[in-house]
Amino acid sequence: MKKFYLTTPVYYVNDVPHLGHAYTTVAADTLIRYKRLAGYDAFFLTGTDEHGNKILQAAKKNNLAPIEMADKMSANFKKLWEKLYISYNDFIRTTQTRHTKVVKKIFLKLYEKGDIYKGEYEGWYCISCESFWLESQLKEGKFCPDCGREVEKIKEESYFFKLSRYQKPLLSYFKAHPNFVLPSTRMNEVVEFVKRGLKDLSVTRLNLKWGIPCPIDGKHTIYVWVDALINYISALGYLEDNFRFSKFWPADVQLVGKDILKFHAIIWPALLMALGLELPKMVFAHGWWKIKGEKMSKSKKNVVDPLKLAEGYGTDCLRYFLLREVPFGEDGNFSYSSFIKRINSDLSNDLGNLLNRVLPLVIRYCGGKVPSPSKEEKEDKNLREKIDDLFPSLEKSMETLSFSDALSKIWEIVRVGNLYIDRCAPWQLAKREEKSRLNTVLYNSLEVLRILSILLSPFIPKSAEKMWAQLGLQEDLKLQSLEKAKIWGQLPPGVLVQKGPPLFPRIKE
Ligand code: MSP
């Protein structure tokens, strides 16, 4: 069985999750569900990033030990992922021993290899982003170019990773693997950045109490970003369980937001090169959700709570909106009116309409039983061929993580399904008592719904299951495959359909 390993970033545990966080994870979940459907042994890792100053400060404020604070906050993410139907295989916390011991081993390994050395760091640091900045990168007035908060000047002894040593190897790798970073505009940015030269990276902080102790010098803790990046391999048991590690590494897709691309497309590959490990096959950087043109983030106090959205409108509506509204890779503006418009037009009208037309007709004219089709006519062949033709482009869209494109192709099936019913007008066939033609048309319409349930299951998993159950199908939808969606005529005649309440009630604007 072919394997597929997918990761999201580990989320900063001191933040309450917002819509931006939910975006990376919902996209990852959709991709992994699709890969499972396509027959892969697919492994999906997510987790929380729990070290660093911010969590220490938050713990003090709340009169808790840092680990208690981290426990509490990490649970917020798990709760949200459950609500959003996130089917991760592993949830790693960077405070877990399985992680910290690997980080220490890696540090030692790189030190012994001569890739880490002791020096002095002098420069600017943003506590909030846990990022080092050059003077030339700061916003006027010494503010962090990322979050806008004030940065501080630090001068301290530090251990450095020889990042500069990897400039050339990285550039050759990028040249040989032009799709290493997608979308390609982001690849170009990374290449340009590396061409300008790489400085060695400070990888320890002095006297920072909440971090992984540096194994060769007790006064230091390991820089949170290096600590955090290693989660992608510590979770697989790197240096601990070679069988499991080599089964899944290298990652097939590492999904990140564009704000943390450089860490994933420069520092992370350089660390992997230093360790003599293969690089991930693809790092995909998605865009930001914005509110009135500004990035949604806690520091700007403009965040939307995904839990409330899911509770208020339904998880699948939220998932659908996030994936359909904006091409993956680009930025999008969130507004309630565009959310409601999208749900009403695509889910309530188009898809809901198809389902709500077909099932009552089957109940009315066939006693609720899936009828047996007979001779195929031109209209039927057309329908079948149009759907067949959509598969290759749908698969291509999923390969490039173009979720919005993929959904628009699936909606083409919804459209041709609705059109087929309009054209064949089963109610008139019933009037004219053309029973065998009526049966064929209703059977084909149900087949469209069967195929849609399978294709939609990665995107809107619970609604797809409900659609599936309404078709009277007993087998678990999770056991279906992309192949079964491609083969026409899998719906067994004689099964009783089950009409339920509307899946996507119209939302009042
Ligand atoms: N802890 C680091 C990642 C370490 S990975 C080794 C981190 N965490 S984060 O919680 O700040 O961000 C996690 C993910 O959420 C990132 O992929 C980031 O791009 C994404 N988003 C955070 N805000 C976002 C938006 N407003 N819009 C879309 N995604 C954004 O960075």
Mutate to test the pocket of ligand 1, among 7, 10, 19, 24 (most ligand atoms within 8 A of CB): 24
**Range 472-494 average pLDDT:** 95
Contact 264 CB / ligand 1 (< 6 Å): no
Residue 373 lies in a domain: yes
CATH number of residue 420's parent domain = 1.10.730.10
Cβ-based neighbours of 435, under 8 Å, separated by 6 or more: none
Residue 24 lies in a domain: no
Residue 204 lies in a domain: no
* The pLDDT value given to residue 208: 85
Segments forming the whole domain that contains residue 381: 337-486
Residue 49 lies in a domain: no
**Range 219-236 average pLDDT:** 97
pLDDT in tens, 101-125: 999 999 999 999 999 999 998 889 8
Contact 52 CB / ligand 1 (< 6 Å): no
Token digits for 177? 């693997």
Gap from CA of 11 to ligand 1 centroid (Å): 6
CB neighbour class for 170 (10 Å; exposed up to 12, middle 13-18, buried from 19): buried
pLDDT in tens, 196-207: 999 999 999 998
Residue 188 has phi, psi (to 5 degrees) of -60, -40
- Residue-averaged pLDDT of the chain: 96
Q: Please give the Cα distance from 254 to 507 (Å, whole number).
A: 35
* The pLDDT value given to residue 426: 98
pLDDT in tens, 312-369: 999 999 999 999 999 999 999 999 999 999 999 999 999 999 999 999 999 999 999 9
Residue 64 has pLDDT above 90, yes or no: yes
**Measured between alpha carbons, how far apart are the two ends of the chain, in Å?**
47
**Range 59-84 average pLDDT:** 97
Contact 29 CB / ligand 1 (< 6 Å): no
Residue 482 lies in a domain: yes
Residue 146 has pLDDT above 90, yes or no: no
Can you tell me which atom of ligand 1 is nearest the CA of 228?
A: 6
Q: Please give the Cα distance from 368 to 341 (Å, whole number).
A: 33
- Residue-wise burial string across 304-330, b where 16 or more C-beta atoms lie within 10 A, e elsewhere: bebbebbeebbbbbbbbbbbbbbbbbe
Residue 417 lies in a domain: yes
**Domains of the chain: total:** 1
* The pLDDT value given to residue 15: 85
Confidence band for 137, pLDDT divided at 50, 70 and 90: confident
Residue 222 has pLDDT above 90, yes or no: yes
Cβ distance 37 to 479 under 8 Å? no
**Range 386-412 average pLDDT:** 97
Residue 414 lies in a domain: yes
Gap from CA of 260 to ligand 1 centroid (Å): 7
Residue 299 has pLDDT above 80, yes or no: no
R_g over Cα of the chain: 26
Confidence band for 492, pLDDT divided at 50, 70 and 90: very high
Mutate to test the pocket of ligand 1, among 8, 16, 21, 401 (most ligand atoms within 8 A of CB): 21
